[in-house]
Structure 1
């Protein structure tokens, strides 16, 4: 006889069976609740905010269950001492009866530029009150008229902008200026934007830990600057400031092809205030000196960097350095009408990789294997005779045992060069990075030691917010590839690839991938910036670029790639609870939607589509794109379905943005589009769309286009198509794969989704890992297809897989009316063949955990719900059903029979 029973344990302080509403005593010596992870404008360490009304957010850490916030109070002061005395001379919100803890606007006195402000947050909860530690932020320039600096730069005879090989070669610029401070320094703040990239020094000290700064933008529309508190670096008396400028994306790395914005240039303003109140401003102007014959020579992201140690200039950024041979800087054209403080975090060295092996080839080169396809560069201890030229060349895979595979890098040279100065040195390039696993080292007279080499992993400074592990090795390997692929394509923008001569912000690659990535990384500010980047590509005719920022001019006037503009804005609202990006973009989005409506044909169908269901698995291993018409979803099907999806999103956006009059507009446009789509493409006699591809049917289902009562028939065609040849495999491209895993599971065939997730034969994610992938490939057949397009680090083919890992296998989701996980929905799917899942996600409200294991017919599930949230918990039962219960915050353990 089989029995079904449920036991529940509350794992907070004393364990209590079934005590879902009990409040246990906190652990001895620990407060019941604490205010943690306070943030200003979304960042945990805010520097250079030029927003007059920054937003405050925080999390609550509770040691007792069922904690809800009942009120909050925010105090802002000019010093931490005032706050410790309970005083706030700039703003005191007063007690606000509310459970809000995300994005509370500052409403105090006007903020001054270059000033550090201090804040403290008090939260009153059902478990008592708690006060945060004192936090702080530094303001940028609050008024554009405060800029006294001029853009400076100039050309040099060594500049080669457009040689025959189309590789731009511009040496790094070195700029400097001496200055004197007459009194004791009270504060010093540096505002700087060096284009394309910069490194700044004051009195020989490097400023900040950022690399490849500032963040990339549409340079003809706006430029970002960074703000630094440099009080410790500036001193009374003689001082010097020095800046090195690299090329970055500001320079056209390929002419023609890439857009170029001009030669490197600098805008910098150092404001020093002494204890007697006097202020000295050192701003870029023609009194600065510059040169272009220092050690950092040719540099760009595609081709690498050349460093000539024989040209080093000891002390060049110290006061009194002899710069008489340097030339006077020139005033140059302002690149953009807007200079804004950069809110999204800078790029930094975030991790390191130790090389796995190195060996010598017959001709004296060395081949090194990092063991992981990574993005960044090498730090290496070197020794050579004066003039020795040491080269490092990078690739994702090997052609044969002694040769790198270079064809998939196209024209990128990916070579770093170091010219020795006859002394030991540790070197790391400054203004380049590579996507690589293997490195060819040449010019070395002795074999480098692995202990002397470190792989430096470079991506945006953001917290890792998710962990995920299962009992299935294929799922774990693919998740590993996803993590490394996502981080490798975050560099101030989300890019398509990190290794070849492209590395662009293609919109379609992140339309759904941004959702999955939001479980793993706190990419909030990165994607908020990217929504603005997309907006700034909009032309007068309302069309937006397929790439943002617009480094290639690709205005294809299609629907499916610009769809990411809308879905990423929706993701920010849903996953982070931040509606500001969509509210700011609403009117430009509306213009584009109305423009697309004008592209309807006489039957209400949008016929134009450029990319189709990009990169579906082809029928032959050497092909990039399928040529079989029965496998290809036609463009009008995709474009019209996508337009309907956008109408539904805009209906929601209109309500959020306060454009209530527009709600009816989007409802009517959606109704017309849906009716036209079904008239033209739905075969009611057969129960499928158009030519019955999986993509056409699954998108119609997932995006709400299927006529009432017809969903089961359409889904039946999806299943029939996927199982016709035996074991189901992926048969969708970029668009279909964005919905396939969730679609299969929601319509009752999670077993097929699990098969897709664990397959190891072609085409599948597991096939990639079985063939040596440590990041996700661009093509399902990336090991055999034409090298012109087989990047080894592309994340577009992940589709909704990472979302499925977290929301379906681990069960971490939220209810439809929730934003930022204020009301969580926990519902794990327990597929046959999987014995455990452990997952965590730090949401804007705090840590969510879901850990389950299956032991025979019993399921043991532990889950954590953060303070000030509630959860709808769906507990698995026999027969695949769920017992839904409601919980407050806390950690719980459930044991239940599931079969």
Structure 2
């Protein structure tokens, strides 16, 4: 008997050893539809992603097993699936039930013969899935003054829970914006929901787990509505009631009790409405809040609402509803003033040190009726006064009227501002900076990328790029946050989209916006200039190159960054319709008809021009032909991805004709372009519009043009994103660095030298003498020119992905040192894990550090002429079994590696 126990102990020890070996690879960072434990998905086949964690090199997944459970009962098990897929793996089980929480786990097998343990459980919760599961009714207040520009209506309802609650989920949306409370506590941490969509076609609802907010017995729901984009004034035309006249609420609370029963609390005619402290709250003009009118405890269960009015039922559709899956707007960084300024006119101004988008929280004491006014501006003029002119008709002012009962704290509800400075009126005596806090608002996109280099001005440029993106990615990719515009301009989004994918995770952000691109696309395929579209401002269904190309460029760039093939599948009809529109507009394979923005805001020469040059205006039809070719190439790529062979053949032939027509129309017999601008050269080269033999001449003319402008760029919105990429591709990286590091106008670093903390709309939004460009169109927070970031990350630092395995499944690392820069580093949180590339030049050597996440591979280009002169980890490459040398190419030694961390050194 004793021998049996000893044998069992030995077997147990062997099993423990084996289990420890299996655990060398772990599964972590579980995501469903790119989100961590999302609540309220209406995706019928959600996709799962996970990461492999290991300290070993060259680890690849060879198989996985997914297990999905409901109430601790397995409802689907994939079984062992032989696949290296660990990103966007689709659910293939039985039909999902609405308003239901599912948990999931995954385990994997790797190429080392090891099996992971089951991951820790993650979960997702379904939304209502279809309109038939809505029991709620649309309600509006019917109160006098509840109108665009008027008061914000307050709604409430009481109900009781007599049983023990297991879970409670609130589903909420509005015609307008909403802020909800349950028993006086805020529901969720999102601001300005449901955001902005093409409401009449596509309205999102939000889902909240409110289990912890319920109390035994009597409960109360309170909701405030704001006009928002739905009926508030929009654009310089002050369009009111664009989507409808009445702010309305749709609310449904599904309660599950521990005894298995359920109860539903809905918006219906049992609700009551009244007004409160919000006298008005509009996006452009700001908010007026009168604390004397606020009803203390109005959202609590014991509040007396006997004097509140009955609500009205609204006849509004439910068929346009879908659950939010994009990240909502939330509060982020906060800033305290860095300076208190008294202007020449005697006004008190606070400088927060950063141009941001959001609002200011104020602490103040005073008498009842005292009024504090806060005006928001981006810059001060050369005299030191706040500069209001570039706000155009936007008042951008918050007004708080005190109740007079000690210290009062205010912040607005349904507005946002673009500002660095605020002018404060209504407070006697010197301002106390501690009483003012600026709060940054933007969509809650996870921070993914980081870049730095040895040049502090370039690092500030990266800071400005990131803050330009954050401030303008406020549910839609806006063009500016301060003036009476703030629209989702398609050209800006298209040109910046690849840069955006590095700084923050924008997969869901763009997927949501692209739905509206398709919804608002005209029947003839034209894509509006702004999305959501405002037909009262842009009534004609026409498209413009670069802008309307967002329909193809943004989906494809998003796919390259995240490997999201479903996005391409869903957007393919829209993509195809857009290219079809161009084909119909073209004549003899030339798109030379209709309106074009051209290379928007390119360099314009002024009197006594320092460059002795003319304005860099590119033939808009040449630009259109290039972008038509690009969108056609994207259609070829997308059709191949989706297995649409006929479309591949069709677009391949079309692309041949487009380029042949370009050569005939825009290139002289001797090989000269009809437009001699940087943008013309760049687009021609970037989109491969010429046979290879003709390209060297165009490269040479581009370089000469840059020299003529004393190493300044002259490109506008459509040329800038590709300028440095073209130079590096054709062996002119040093010229690209001269452009990047140029400090005088026009250049990327000129605004940095002028104190910018975000990207400007124009190269000279502020001129060297501190005067301003045209105030009708000068924003100091406008991300488009920040597209240089893409070159900084993917070329300068060298962290890139291959098209054959997008989403960084196959990573490309090819640094491009130069310009006197001694180091550059880029890191990125991919769906597979952390990827990084960083180089440093010191003592005649280059050090290249690379991190490759598990379940990916990388091709690394190490500067050098021979593998014999390169070491990794202090040892010769020839001695490293995990590194495969594949040859040399263009001054690089090329190696192939699997996952792991690598440190290469070589002569430089």
* Counterpart selection for 2:253 from 264, 267, 270: 270
1:530 match: 513
User: CA 1:628–1:310 in structure 2 vs 1: closer, same or farther (change >3 Å)?
Assistant: farther
8 Å Cα contact 1:607-1:639 kept in structure 2: no
Q: 1:845-865, CA deviations, whole angstroms, 9 ceiling, x for partnerless residues?
A: 111111211113211111111
User: CA 1:239–1:606 in structure 2 vs 1: closer, same or farther (change >3 Å)?
Assistant: same
* Counterpart selection for 1:600 from 583, 586, 589: 586
Distance (Å, rounded) in 2 between the aligned partners of 1:664 and 1:757: 40
Question: 2:49 aligned with 1:57, yes or no?
Answer: yes
1:61-140 pair list within 5 angstroms: 61-79=53-71, 82=72, 89-127=74-112, 128-130=114-116, 131-140=118-127
Distance (Å, rounded) in 1 between the aligned partners of 2:438 and 2:208: 28
The alpha-carbon deviation at position 751 of structure 1 amounts to 0.6
2:600 match: 614
* Counterpart selection for 1:633 from 618, 624, 628: 618
1:370-769 pair list within 5 angstroms: 370-400=352-382, 403-422=385-404, 423-551=406-534, 553-554=537-538, 555-602=541-588, 604-620=590-606, 631-685=616-670, 687-725=671-709, 727-769=710-752
Q: 1:196-240, CA deviations, whole angstroms, 9 ceiling, x for partnerless residues?
A: 111111111111011111121001111000011111212332111
1:890 match: 900
Structure 1 gaps, min length 5: 1-24, 83-87, 162-168
The alpha-carbon deviation at position 159 of structure 1 amounts to 4.5
User: CA 1:835–1:201 in structure 2 vs 1: closer, same or farther (change >3 Å)?
Assistant: same
Distance (Å, rounded) in 2 between the aligned partners of 1:400 and 1:636: 40
User: CA 1:627–1:734 in structure 2 vs 1: closer, same or farther (change >3 Å)?
Assistant: farther
Question: 2:774 aligned with 1:786, yes or no?
Answer: yes
Q: 1:427-486, CA deviations, whole angstroms, 9 ceiling, x for partnerless residues?
A: 221111111000001000243322222211111112111111111122111111101101
The alpha-carbon deviation at position 630 of structure 1 amounts to 6.1
1:298 match: 280
Distance (Å, rounded) in 1 between the aligned partners of 2:519 and 2:553: 17
2:882 match: none
8 Å Cα contact 1:202-1:317 kept in structure 2: yes
The alpha-carbon deviation at position 70 of structure 1 amounts to 1.1
Q: 1:741-762, CA deviations, whole angstroms, 9 ceiling, x for partnerless residues?
A: 1001111111111111111011
Q: 1:7-51, CA deviations, whole angstroms, 9 ceiling, x for partnerless residues?
A: xxxxxxxxxxxxxxxxxx99x999532212110011123110011
Distance (Å, rounded) in 2 between the aligned partners of 1:632 and 1:474: 29
User: CA 1:331–1:559 in structure 2 vs 1: closer, same or farther (change >3 Å)?
Assistant: same
Distance (Å, rounded) in 1 between the aligned partners of 2:735 and 2:791: 13
1:345 match: 327
SS of residue paired to 1:267: strand
Moved more, 531-540 or 333-342: 333-342
8 Å Cα contact 1:215-1:342 kept in structure 2: no
The alpha-carbon deviation at position 115 of structure 1 amounts to 1.8
Distance (Å, rounded) in 1 between the aligned partners of 2:306 and 2:260: 34
2:880 match: none
Q: 1:121-151, CA deviations, whole angstroms, 9 ceiling, x for partnerless residues?
A: 1122235332321111121102320111111
Moved more, 591-600 or 190-199: 591-600
Distance (Å, rounded) in 1 between the aligned partners of 2:802 and 2:602: 32
2:806 match: 819
The alpha-carbon deviation at position 155 of structure 1 amounts to 4.1
User: CA 1:117–1:160 in structure 2 vs 1: closer, same or farther (change >3 Å)?
Assistant: closer
8 Å Cα contact 1:195-1:264 kept in structure 2: yes
SS of residue paired to 1:511: helix
- Relative CO higher for 1 or 2, CA cutoff 8 Å, sep ≥ 6? 1
The alpha-carbon deviation at position 400 of structure 1 amounts to 4.9
8 Å Cα contact 1:496-1:509 kept in structure 2: yes
1:836 match: 823
The alpha-carbon deviation at position 362 of structure 1 amounts to 7.2
SS of residue paired to 1:124: strand
Q: 1:860-890, CA deviations, whole angstroms, 9 ceiling, x for partnerless residues?
A: 1111111011110111015970000111111
TM-score by length of 2: 0.91
Moved more, 100-109 or 744-753: 100-109
Distance (Å, rounded) in 2 between the aligned partners of 1:69 and 1:735: 41
8 Å Cα contact 2:495-2:718 kept in structure 1: no
8 Å Cα contact 1:42-1:57 kept in structure 2: yes
SS of residue paired to 1:445: coil
SS of residue paired to 1:526: helix
8 Å Cα contact 2:759-2:780 kept in structure 1: yes
* Counterpart selection for 2:179 from 186, 199, 204: 199
User: CA 1:235–1:673 in structure 2 vs 1: closer, same or farther (change >3 Å)?
Assistant: same
8 Å Cα contact 2:603-2:617 kept in structure 1: no
SS of residue paired to 1:518: helix
1:274-293 pair list within 5 angstroms: 274-291=257-274, 293=275
8 Å Cα contact 2:191-2:330 kept in structure 1: yes
8 Å Cα contact 1:176-1:289 kept in structure 2: yes
The alpha-carbon deviation at position 257 of structure 1 amounts to 4.9
User: CA 1:356–1:154 in structure 2 vs 1: closer, same or farther (change >3 Å)?
Assistant: same
Distance (Å, rounded) in 2 between the aligned partners of 1:101 and 1:156: 53
